[in-house]
Every structure is written in structure tokens, then in C-alpha cells.
Amino acid sequence: MLVLGIESSCDETAAAVVDAARPVGKRILSNVVFSQWDAVRKYGGVVPEVAARAHVEKIDPVVDQALAEAGVSIADLDGISATTGPGLIGGVIVGASYAKALALGAEKPFLAINHLEGHALTPRLVDDVPFPFLLLLVSGGHCQTVLVRGVGDYQRIGTTIDDAIGEAFDKTAKMMGLEMPGGPAVEGLARRGDDRAVPLPIPFKGRPGTDFSFSGLKTAVRRAIEGDQGHRPEDIAASFQRVAFQSLIDRTRRAAQSIDDPLSALVVAGGVAANQVLSAELLGLGEELGLKVVVPPLSLCTDNGAMIAWAGAERLALGQPEAWFAQLDVAPRPRWPLDPDAPKSSGAGAAKA
């Protein structure tokens, strides 16, 4: 089963071809990503209008390269999937419209994929993780724990009430004058620091419930940077990273303990999952909980086309959509929760799954 996936929800223009019939380790036939960071570095971050124009310019060559590297043509495909939300709406429109045009012209099924579902199902691309499992989704725009019961069956357990953890990394990097993206910059600086040197609060540690919060930590970091205590930048970075991850681990532990379903694994996805310190902390948590921990390779943690292609393949395997034209009317959207029935935040009395 050959599926082309297109991702354009933020600043990466990405396309990939996966073959779902192949065994683990051989399913990704191509995975091409064009990043805009070199072009937007001068702005200090992603500019939606600039990003959308770049997607328009790059989507043709990126898709052509993905098909060429996979050694397939449009006619060989069994389906074409694209991120249809959530994300920066200009970029989402570019990718989804392009994929719809390809599907319409070639009379192939078009699959409208939730970007978050792409992250959620990535562990099954690389490890055949059975349902249900607990997902920790950590990126620049998202910080959630989600019970993944099946394709399209998601229950959010906890969410951030303010900043996502990736956003906190980016803002910390910006306050410290580091280059963007902030996650790798802070991680690199933290390797040279003492993670106990700067007293910072551990957000929500020990607090009832399963939600996250990072705005207070961000404020504490700003005070440490602007204060007169002479903290070294590397110590601030290391201390910030330590307490941010301690909070993540504490809240993820509570999420796992709140679930009655017998979990097969604890999986992590999203750009922050590329952090090696976090991976080590999660392995320790998995051992404590008696759960297998699955961390996708770096290339699949950040936004990519392979995860969108795989989500499309999972849906095709279930007979979704029933008709190839059924999803051409799905409109791109800036917001698209995995669990539309979830409350705004799970709060202190989060119900068990």
C-alpha cells in the first residue's frame, strides 16, 4: 500500500512516500523536508505570510523529489494524504489544496489528516505499537497526554493551560539571545551547565490533575537572566531544562496512573521528543510504570511527510474514505483537536479514561 503524504502546517514543506505493506524499518521509501529556518532566521521566528509563500514555491520540487526517491509515480499510489489542520492556515491551505488537486487528477483517494494524528500514529510506523497506548505530545504548539485507543479514537488526558513546552524553550532561547529554533539551542547550551545552580520552580509538581503549565517557569527564567546574581547562561539553560522535564515526567506519570485501560506503551512525539535528556527521563518513567517506551528517531519527531503518509495508510487500511472523492470537501482549518469532546483543560479532578 503506497501513500504519498504532504505536510505544510508550519515552516517545513515536506513530502514522503510510505509502503504500509513492508515490515518495520523498511516502510519509508522517501522522506523529503525543506526547512525555512535559514530564510526566517532574521525575523526571529516563523512569519505566517512568508511561510505560506515559501510553501507555494517549494511544494512542487519537494513532492517531485519524494516520488523520485521512492521510485514511484502518482499512478502507482494507493492514496494521497495531506495535513488539513491544525496549523498556520496559509500553509495548511497550500498543502491540502495541492494534494486534493493531485488526487482529483489521478482519481486517487484523498485523506484529510489531522497533524496531531500524524504525530500520534508515528510510533506504529517504526515499532508496530498495539493499541491502546499513552501518547505524550510535546512540540512548539502542543503539550498533551492522549490515550490512543485506535485510529480516530483519542481521549485527551491532560493539556497545557498556557504555554506549550516547545514554546517555553523558544521563549527561553530568545531571552538568552540564542539562535532559533530554541529547543536544540537550549539543549546544546545546557550540556555545559550545572542543572542545580539556578533555583527554579517545578511547574505543577505534586498538584492534583494532569494538566501542564510553563508560563510561570518562563517568568522565573526571565528573572534569573535579568537579575544581579551572576548566573551563567549555561547554568540557566540546564536548570530550566531540568525543571521543565521534571514537570513533564510528573504530569505524565499522573496521566498514566489515571487510566484504567491496560496500556501497551508510553510513546512520545513532537519536536521536543528529539531532546536526548527527555528521552532518558522517559525511559526511567517507563521502567517505573512497567511500560515500554517508544521514542521515534529524530527525523520523525519534528514535522515530516512520513507521519502524514502513515496516518493516511492507517485510514486506508480501515476503508477510510469509502469513496475516493469523499474527503475533497474537507476544509483546511487552523484548529482541529484530536479529542473534540475534551474540556478546555482537564483540571484537578480529571476523570479516569
Q: Express each pLDDT in 51-95 by its tens digit.
A: 899 899 999 999 999 999 999 999 999 999 999 999 999 999 999
pTM of the predicted model, to two decimals? 0.91
Residue 325, Cβ neighbours under 10 Å: how many?
A: 13
pLDDT tens across 111-151, in order? 999 999 999 999 999 998 999 999 999 988 889 999 999 99
Q: Are strands 12-19 and 110-114 parallel, antiparallel or unpaired?
A: unpaired
| Residue among 84, 114, 85 at smallest CA distance from 99 | 84
Q: How far apart are CA 129 and CA 183, in angstroms?
A: 27
Q: How far, in Å, are 124, 174, 177 from residue 98 at the CA level? A: 27, 34, 38
203 within a domain of the structure (yes/no): yes
| Residues 178, 293 within the same domain | yes
349 within a domain of the structure (yes/no): no
Which pLDDT belongs to residue 98?
A: 98
| Residues 281, 309 within the same domain | no
| Residues 98, 157 within the same domain | no
Q: Are strands 28-35 and 79-85 parallel, antiparallel or unpaired?
A: unpaired
| Residues 110, 255 within the same domain | no
Which pLDDT belongs to residue 349?
A: 33
Taking a C-beta distance cutoff of 8 angstroms, is the pair 249, 203 a contact? no
pLDDT tens across 263-322, in order? 999 999 988 998 999 999 999 999 999 999 999 998 999 899 999 999 999 999 988 655
| Residues 74, 203 within the same domain | no
156 within a domain of the structure (yes/no): yes
Q: How many CA atoms lie within 13 A of 335 on its CB side?
A: 2
Q: How far apart are CA 229 and CA 226, in angstroms?
A: 9
287 within a domain of the structure (yes/no): yes
| Residues 137, 103 within the same domain | no
| Residues 115, 140 within the same domain | no
Which pLDDT belongs to residue 41?
A: 59
Q: How far apart are CA 161 and CA 144, in angstroms?
A: 10
| Residues 11, 154 within the same domain | no
Q: How far, in Å, are 169, 309, 343 from residue 135 at the CA level? A: 20, 19, 18
* Neighbour-count burial of 53, counting CB atoms closer than 10 A to its CB (0-12 exposed, 13-18 middle, 19+ buried): middle
115 within a domain of the structure (yes/no): yes
Residue 231 Ramachandran class (φ > 0 left, ψ -120 to 50 alpha, else beta): beta
Structural domain that includes position 279 = 131-298
| Residues 308, 287 within the same domain | no
338 within a domain of the structure (yes/no): no
Taking a C-beta distance cutoff of 8 angstroms, is the pair 71, 344 a contact? no
- Number of domains making up the chain: 2
Domain with residue 26: its CATH number is 3.30.420.40
| Residues 12, 41 within the same domain | yes
| Residues 165, 79 within the same domain | no
Average pLDDT of every residue of the chain? 91
Which pLDDT belongs to residue 94?
A: 97
Q: How many CA atoms lie within 13 A of 28 on its CB side?
A: 20
For CA atoms 302, 284, 129, 155, the dihedral sign is: negative
